[in-house]
Amino acid sequence: MQKIGRITHYFDKISVAVLSVEDGQVKLGDQIQVGEDNLEGTFSQTVESMQVDHQPVEMAKSGDEVGLKLTNPTKPNTPVFLVE
Query: pLDDT truncated to tens, each residue of the chain (84 aa)?
Result: 999 999 999 999 999 999 999 999 999 999 999 999 888 889 999 999 999 999 999 999 999 999 999 999 999 999 999 998
Characterise 15 by phi-psi region: left (phi > 0), alpha (psi -120 to 50), beta (else): left
* Count of domains for the chain: 1
Q: What is the pLDDT of residue 36?
A: 93
Predicted TM-score (pTM) above 0.85: yes
**CATH (domain of 12):** 2.40.30.10
Q: What is the pLDDT of residue 84?
A: 83
Q: What is the pLDDT of residue 26?
A: 96
User: What DSSP assignment string belongs to 34-84?
Assistant: ES-TT-TT-EEEE---EEETTEE-SEEETT-EEEEE-SS---TT-EEEE--
Range of the domain at 42: 2-82
